[in-house]
Amino acid sequence: MSVPLTLLGLLDREPSHGYELKRDYDVYFGRGKPLPFGQVYATLGRLARDGKVVVSEVGPGVGPDRKRYVITDQGATEVETWLAEPVEPEPHLQTVLFAKVVLALMLGRPAEQYLDSQRRAHLRRMRELTELKRTGSLVDALLADHGLFHLEADLRWIELTGARLDTLAKEVRR
């Protein structure tokens, strides 16, 4: 997730204070990992330094002065370019899951146990995401579906790899 570009996108929607940006980021993009206030203001400072946002007004607040940030033409162009670029397709061919299985086999350790443990972890996460789909908003459901589809693909890979462990072990031990 690109925090600077996501904040720019939120500002392209409407000028906002830092706390409003944090709130909206957390609601839509921060599932399980809210954005720290310090990161919001540090990112806004860098975006201002780089000419992508400006402060439109400063008003008194309960604590520090409240600054309203506005996206510049340069920032809006960057958001438009970012939105138009396709995301790098996942997964990458070198994953932690794959590396652990191959290393376990190379080291003569029980890769089957690792795959069983990983399968249980995936199933546990799938139950959590299914509950989120059942009880959450449409945004929650779509995010959960994305995660579930990836986990299902991993589970298929785990099953296939488990069936091929003996052959794979012979190949990686050469």
Which residues sit opposite 67 in a β-bridge?
58
Look over the chain and give the mean of its residue pLDDT values, rounded to a whole number.
90
- Alpha-carbon gap, residue 32 to 28, rounded angstroms: 11
How far the first Cα of the chain sits from its last, in Å, is: 40
Quick: pLDDT tens for 65-123: 688 999 999 999 999 999 988 877 766 666 788 888 999 998 888 899 999 999 999 99
Quick: pLDDT tens for 25-76: 998 888 778 999 999 999 999 999 999 999 987 666 555 668 899 999 999 9
* pLDDT value of residue 93: 62
From the candidate CATH numbers 3.30.70.920, 1.10.40.30, 1.10.10.10, 3.40.718.10, the one assigned to the domain spanning 3-84: 1.10.10.10
